[in-house]
A and B are shown apart, each in its own frame.
Chain A
Amino acid sequence: MAEVRFSHVTKKFNENMILNGVSAEIKDHEFVVIVGPSGCGKTTLLRMLAGLEEITAGEIYIDNVLVNNMHPSKRQIAMVFQDYALYPHMTVEENMSFALRLMKLKSGAISARVHEAAAILQLTKLLKRMPKQLSGGQRQRVAIGRAIVRHPKVFLFDEPLSNLDAKLREEMRVEIAKLYQRLNATIIYVTHDQVEAMTLAGRIVIMNHGIIQQVGTPIEVYRKPANLFVAGFIGSPTMNFLYGRLQAEGEKLFFKNDSLTLYLPPFLLADAARNAGREAALGIRPDDVVIGPGVREDCSEKIEGILEVSELLGHRENLYIKAGENRILAAVEAFFNQSPGSKVSVGFNYRNMHVFDKKTQKRINNS
């Protein structure tokens, strides 16, 4: 098992900057998920670690060994591909043993490793099948099995679940979590799905435009997003943003836009004088939008809005509310018994409110 270190890694395709100086450290036995929208460079980063892409500049270390110019097979990594890349003309067993056969291992050792991996992944009965005779989930397991038999230092997963349907994806997600507990290996997992990132990761690396936006545990990136991008990317349904200006009236700080004035208490954002005059974005998760006239502690004063649409999800209900120019999504307990067009009063939970500078996109409150 091993550590991985990226140091100022840069990748250019011709003049296109794909990765712009990525630095990150992945500890031994850690499950790190790299997440970001498509085109953010996450897969390129993984392929550079695997040795499948040239590194334009910077260094990549595995176990403190510089691997920039090392052949993929020498890096002691194993990769699970998005489309599985199972050799279609080989049986499951041949697929899993291919790397070991190329290493010229003894056939007894090969068979032992293959059967061990097959037992872990419940593939023993399928060893003689061809890949096309398997279901999507089974192919996925074979692809993982092919990685396991090599006893690699680092496992790389490149969007492994994106070719599966929703239900199977959930099942395989749990399987991968179990597998991690069992193997206790260093795993780097690339996905565009923030749910996979939140549920699987020990730490999440969030990327956009070839730059790391934030690194942290799932709860850190959820509770304290470092910038507007992370705030909008992590969490489902998406966070509400209200755009306006901060204004100080005496010691008190207010958030104002054309149709809304909100008092911001000092525990949310201290130092009213320094922040006054900034263009700002307020971020509130739909779960922290409080509906109804009742007064609660640490909650903003109520504003009036009109219910536009309500979506029933079963245990929760999503309410799309328009308050002046501001559109607000609230997630409340089912059943919210009002029809579209009716008036609702909306408040925001100060304890989970995020304030961002609109210009720098950075978070400015610390709570």
Chain B
Amino acid sequence: MDILYSIYEVAWFVLIVAAGIAALEGYFYYHFKLYGKKWFMAVSAVFFPLAAVLLCRYLGLVEGGGLGRVWAWFFIAQVLINLFFKHIVKGRFSLPYMLLAPAFTGLALLLVYPFVFQIYLSFHDLKLTTIMAWKNTGRLPFAGIQQYINVFTTSPLSEITFWTLLLRTLLWTFTNVFFHVAGGFALALLLNNEIRFKGFYRTLLVIPWAMPQVVAVLAMRGEFHSQYGFINIMLGKLAAAFPALAALGFGPVQWLSDHPLATCTLINIWLGIPFMMVVILGGLQSISSSYYDAADIDGASYFQKLRYITLPLIRPVLMPAVTLGTVWTFNNINVIYLVTGQSGGTEQADILVSALYKAAFTYNRYSYSAAFAIVIFAMLFFISVFYYAPTFGRGNLGIRGSLRGKVISPSSPARG
């Protein structure tokens, strides 16, 4: 019987989702197809706010007294939407808008709403002591920019400061991305040669990236175990075999407790190399071999070819990958969270985002975390815009056309 009830629940859920989608499609149909009718404005201004208010009432989102206010908001929003459809979305733009509408709605629900709510939170004070009041009254104490001041002046965790975290995060990002690119480039160069079992090697090398990150990280974490991990066993055997090394202090290391950040870095480097390798290999394979022929005749050595031909020509694929890699590494909470033992544990390995996670969900400082997250977002945004964006264009300049469009770069202007 339990299973039947589960099926009933799932079916009910599916029905609700389907009804929601149907309602959304109907809403779009009305606005995209019927905007020319005389009754378009009047009917929608009456019907849709009413339906929305009834829905809110039914779901218990609003109490009886607030209904009029809610209706007024919906009414104004609906009038604005009507005007938008009647006067802006019309004629030849209606098809592209119509095709974009479902995706836009999805993004609005998943990205725009949380972002707006986060900004709202960051200027108020939501924490463990105010959350019940918020639930009961729907009101939060306004905090102005106090949360932003706190971000820079207080510790998100128990002792470490924001500035230490920032410095550590930059170091972490730089080290990781550097070794990702260096390792990926070296492996891509090897794989770009005529070697046997190339496909096999490539598959093996891509595995860390293709595996679910949780599995990969936990497996690697096991290898760093002080007693049973592969790495310490090897180090112990080496120290035993070469006493001279042992005399220099070479031997097993307490990776997880003494050097958590170094452990995280090693694991993350291992995880990140395959992506860079695949991207760079794609770049290398798009370089026409006649450039290398020409360089051979011009008398370039292997390293000169690397320096003057290969590097400039993979730049257009490398720079977006480095930007992505930087953002991913900067934001990489998974590895640190999984290696250092979830929410408790050490603070020695925390970077900005993992500290943010702990501030929000271990210390329950929601508004503070919202402000913290916006600060991190702003930093990444400016890094991307001011450091990488110009190089996209520049790398692109010399490449397009001569590689006959093989390299697709994000800043290629749209045609048509």
Q: Can you list, as one digit per residue, whether each of B267-305 has a CB less than 8 Å from chain A (1) or not (0)?
A: 000000000000000000000101101111111100010
Is residue A330 contacting chain B, with contact meaning CB distance below 8 A?
no
In the complex, which residues 90-139 of chain A have their Cβ closer than 8 Å to any Cβ of chain B? 90, 98-99, 102-103, 130-132
CA distance A86 to B315 in the complex (A): 17
Q: Can you list, as one digit per residue, whether each of B361-398 has a CB less than 8 Å from chain A (1) or not (0)?
A: 00000000000000000000000000000000000011
Is residue A77 contacting chain B, with contact meaning CB distance below 8 A?
yes
A254 partner residues in chain B, CB cutoff 8 A: none
CA distance A74 to B301 in the complex (A): 12
A131 partner residues in chain B, CB cutoff 8 A: 398, 402
> Given the known A-B contacts A85-B290, A85-B291, are A72 and B402 also in contact in the complex, defined by CB atoms under 8 Å?
no
Identify which of B293, B299, B399 contacts A81 (C-beta below 8 A).
Answer: B293
Which chain B residue has the least Cβ–Cβ distance from A50?
B297
Is residue A78 contacting chain B, with contact meaning CB distance below 8 A?
yes
Interface size on B (CB < 8 Å)?
24
Interface size on A (CB < 8 Å)?
29
Identify which of A88, A90, A146 contacts B403 (C-beta below 8 A).
Answer: A88
Which chain B residue has the least Cβ–Cβ distance from A88?
B402
CA distance A199 to B299 in the complex (A): 33
> Given the known A-B contacts A52-B293, A81-B293, A83-B288, are A88 and B298 also in contact in the complex, defined by CB atoms under 8 Å?
no
> Given the known A-B contacts A81-B290, A88-B313, are A73 and B400 also in contact in the complex, defined by CB atoms under 8 Å?
no
Contact B297 A77 (CB under 8 A): yes
Is residue B309 contacting chain A, with contact meaning CB distance below 8 A?
yes
Contact B309 A87 (CB under 8 A): yes
Identify which of A71, A83, A132 contacts B398 (C-beta below 8 A).
Answer: A132
CA distance A99 to B298 in the complex (A): 4
A50 partner residues in chain B, CB cutoff 8 A: 293, 297
| Nearest CB of chain B from residue A357's CB, rounded to whole Å | 42
A182 partner residues in chain B, CB cutoff 8 A: none
CA distance A86 to B299 in the complex (A): 15
CA distance A86 to B313 in the complex (A): 12
A-B contact pairs, 23 of them (CB 8 A): A51-B297, A52-B296, A72-B297, A78-B297, A79-B293, A81-B294, A85-B290, A85-B293, A85-B294, A87-B291, A87-B294, A87-B308, A88-B313, A88-B403, A89-B313, A90-B398, A98-B295, A98-B308, A99-B297, A99-B299, A130-B397, A146-B294, A150-B298
Listed in ascending order, the chain B residues whose CB lies under 8 Å from chain A are 288, 290-291, 293-300, 304, 308-309, 312-313, 315, 397-403
In the complex, the 9 A-B pairs of residues with the closest C-beta atoms, listed nearest first: A73-B299, A88-B402, A89-B398, A99-B298, A85-B290, A85-B294, A132-B401, A89-B312, A72-B296
Listed in ascending order, the chain A residues whose CB lies under 8 Å from chain B are 47, 50-52, 71-74, 77-79, 81-83, 85-90, 98-99, 102-103, 130-132, 146, 150
Sample of 11 more A-B contacts, CB < 8 Å, known A72-B299, A87-B291 = A71-B299, A81-B293, A85-B294, A86-B402, A88-B403, A89-B313, A89-B398, A89-B399, A98-B308, A130-B398, A131-B398
